[in-house]
Amino acid sequence: MLDADSDDLRSGPDLHPALLSLLPLVGTWCGEGQVGYPTIEGQHYRQEVRFAHDGRPFLAYSASAVLLGPDGDVVRRSAREVGWWRAADGDRFEVLLAHPTGIVEIYLGTAAGPTSWELSTDVVVRTQTAKEVTANHRLYGIVDGALLYAVDMAAVGQPLQPHLSARLERTSG
């Protein structure tokens, strides 16, 4: 029996029919990418992303990353985010993400094809001590079996521009 707080929901009930456009995302993905922005030094990172479900019309989502040094060794823990990808009408969906840095984002998304998804922030809220983030745009796609994504960000007085990109391989699901 599953614990109510369990993250391991992949072997549970069937995927809710409203989520069929998101089905290819379900599972755990790991890989490496590049982070950069005018206000930070560019660096490589390693990331794990999980999409899971429990039969209801949303996917549980979590992502964590570590920064890598020039030799590929872990330098330190980096970004984390948790949230839910929720079914809306047709190929539309909503994404709610929370970050331990004090930022919460709500995205509106569209399945742009059977293996590609585009999301743009509708709302970005932050705590008093969080850095200023005003908008994000994300593209996800499965290409040759790998999950590729790119994130553009507008923050700390900078306009919307490239911030993250990665290639992740499915490790389970």
Asked if residue 2 belongs to a domain, the reply is no
97, 119 Cβ separation under 8 angstroms: no
The answer to whether residue 164 sits within a structural domain is yes
Question: Quick check: is 8 in a domain?
Answer: no
Rounded to a whole number of angstroms, the distance between the first and last alpha carbons of the chain is 19
Which pLDDT score, from 0 to 100, does residue 4 have?
Answer: 41
> Could you tell me if residue 45 is inside a domain?
yes
Q: Does residue 12 sit within a domain? A: no
Number of folded domains in the chain? Answer: 1
Instruction: Assess whether pLDDT exceeds 80 at residue 157.
Output: yes
Mean pLDDT across 47-55: 97
Domain of residue 98, CATH code: 2.40.128.20
Q: Is the pLDDT of residue 2 over 70?
A: no
In a domain? residue 122? yes
Q: Would you call 101 helix, strand, or coil by DSSP?
A: coil
Task: Give the gyration radius of the chain's Cα atoms.
Answer: 16
C-alpha distances in Å from residue 15, one per residue of 3, 24, 81, 87, 122? 18, 11, 23, 12, 26
Strand, coil or helix: 89: coil
With cut-offs at 50, 70 and 90, classify the pLDDT of residue 9.
very low
Collapsing DSSP to helix, strand or coil, 98 comes out as strand
What residue numbers bound the domain in which 35 lies? 17-172
Q: Which of 45, 150, 153, 63 is nearest to 99 (CA)?
A: 63
Instruction: Let me know if residue 1 belongs to a domain.
Output: no
Residue 31 within any structural domain of the chain: yes
- Label residue 1 exposed, middle or buried (CB < 10 Å: 0-12, 13-18, 19+): exposed
Phi, psi of 88 (to 5 degrees): -125, -140
Q: Helices (H), strands (E): how many in the chain?
A: 0, 10
- CB 162, CB 36: distance < 8 Å: yes
pLDDT band at residue 13, thresholds of 50, 70 and 90?
Answer: confident
Give me the pLDDT at residue 7, please: 46
Contact indicator for 173, 11 with CB cutoff of 8 Å: no
